[in-house]
């Protein structure tokens, strides 16, 4: 009898140790889709600062050039999570993918419209030539939404499809086009060559799902604890970015392959304001994107913005007080 009691006691003690031990991190593949400084930085920080592992994820962080490719890999089952632009998440779901946006990093357009010095105001863009990207990209949506803000129809300009940011800026510098849209590095490149900022889109605060994390419905249904861990790790990485400048700059330099210090500094300053603390996607931004896309995609006109997101995890952060604790607001409210 004593031996049985002792055996039961040992089993119970083992259970106690098991319950108190940290969960073993699960290996997953996670793609980021831009190696420019800024919007991908929280993913890099979550990896390098051990935040993914802190919340139960052993992440193999891989670079896939372009949001569309990342979403395709996610739908194919090659990834557990993918960073994405909201437009790619929309297109992936409209094409039949069982995917959802589960958190957000940037909810507006971190772009500048830059152009020739003789363009004195946004209204003078009418009739000018734009160096643009592929229709449906975030850069394309950025300029369409901004022109609409100033009452300029897209057909009132001459759009020339050039491609990526470096090529677009070069097209304006070389005089082939009059203006283009660029993020912080492109703006710096343009200003050094004598171009001017015509519109700072971030100051307009146009709702747009610029940077978010997407996962599959299967992952949400079968392993919700991993999705919760990912959202918590990203939330803590955003706080790290905002409060630990030098450490963040070092991580950004490692992942951006020799980007100049002044570009890293400029990106850190811009994204300190842009990164969302509460990780909540912008329903309004998704709704506006669907409205614009409906002009060439009938499926977009019939879709609802709410169908593209699963908010249970970011809602859980708010309900539990997780974000308030991260930023010390819980302690302040008790004083």
* Secondary structure letter of residue 309 according to DSSP: B
Residue 133 CA to its chain's centroid (Å): 19
Q: Could you tell me the pLDDT band of residue 13, with boundaries at 50, 70 and 90?
A: very low
Mean of the pLDDT values across residues 2-29?
Answer: 49
CB 178 within 8 A of CB 128: yes
Q: Could you tell me the pLDDT band of residue 137, with boundaries at 50, 70 and 90?
A: confident
> Residue 328: left if φ>0, alpha if ψ -120 to 50, beta else—which one?
left
- Both structure tokens of 96: 């039949």
Q: Could you tell me the pLDDT band of residue 330, with boundaries at 50, 70 and 90?
A: low
Give percent of the chain above pLDDT 90: 74
- Which helix or strand (DSSP H or E) is residue 62 part of? strand 57-63
Q: Which domains does the chain have, with CATH numbers?
A: 24-108+208-334 (3.40.190.10), 112-204 (3.40.190.10)
Q: How far apart are CA 43 and CA 210, in angstroms?
A: 15
- For residue 229, the model assigns a pLDDT of 98
Q: How far apart are CA 290 and CA 297, in angstroms?
A: 9
The string of pLDDT tens digits covering residues 239-248 is 999 999 999 9
Q: How far apart are CA 241 and CA 188, in angstroms?
A: 22
Q: What φ, ψ does residue 197 adopt, rounded to 5°? A: -80, 120
Q: What φ, ψ does residue 214 adopt, rounded to 5°? A: -120, 140
The string of pLDDT tens digits covering residues 165-210 is 889 999 999 999 999 999 888 898 999 999 999 999 988 888 999 9
User: Longest Cα pair distance anywhere in the chain, in angstroms?
Assistant: 95
CB 119 within 8 A of CB 179: yes
CA dihedral (25, 26, 30, 35) positive or negative? positive
């Amino acid at each position: 009898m004593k031996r049985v009691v002792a055996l039961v006691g040992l089993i119970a003690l083992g259970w106690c140790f098991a319950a108190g031990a940290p969960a073993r991190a699960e290996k997953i593949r996670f793609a980021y889709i831009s190696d420019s400084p800024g919007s991908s930085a929280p993913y890099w920080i979550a990896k390098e600062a051990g935040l993914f592992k802190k919340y139960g994820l052993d992440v193999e962080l891989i670079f896939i050039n372009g949001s569309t490719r990342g979403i395709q890999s996610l739908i194919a089952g090659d990834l557990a999570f993918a960073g994405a632009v909201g437009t790619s998440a929309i297109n992936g779901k409209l094409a039949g993918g069982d995917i959802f946006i589960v958190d957000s990093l940037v909810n507006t357009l971190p772009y500048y419209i830059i152009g020739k010095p003789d363009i004195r105001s946004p209204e003078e863009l009418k009739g000018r030539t734009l160096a643009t990207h592929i229709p449906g990209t975030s850069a394309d949506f950025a300029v369409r939404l901004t022109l609409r803000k100033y009452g300029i129809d897209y057909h009132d300009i001459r759009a020339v499809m050039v491609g990526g940011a470096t090529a677009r800026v070069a097209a304006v510098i070389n005089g082939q086009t009059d203006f283009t849209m660029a993020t912080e590095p492109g703006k710096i490149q343009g200003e050094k060559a004598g171009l001017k900022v015509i519109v700072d889109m971030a100051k307009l605060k146009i709702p747009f799902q610029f940077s978010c994390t997407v996962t599959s419905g299967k992952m949400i249904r079968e392993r919700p604890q991993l999705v919760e861990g990912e959202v918590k790790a990203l939330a803590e990485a955003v706080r790290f970015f905002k409060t630990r400048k030098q450490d963040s700059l070092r991580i950004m330099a490692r992942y951006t392959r020799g980007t100049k210090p002044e570009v890293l500094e400029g990106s850190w300053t811009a994204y300190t304001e842009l990164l969302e603390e509460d990780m909540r996607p912008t329903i309004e931004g998704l709704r506006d994107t669907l409205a614009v896309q409906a002009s060439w995609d009938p499926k977009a006109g019939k879709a609802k913005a709410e169908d593209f997101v699963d908010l249970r995890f970011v809602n859980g952060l708010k309900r539990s007080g997780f974000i308030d604790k991260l930023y010390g607001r819980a302690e302040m409210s008790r004083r």
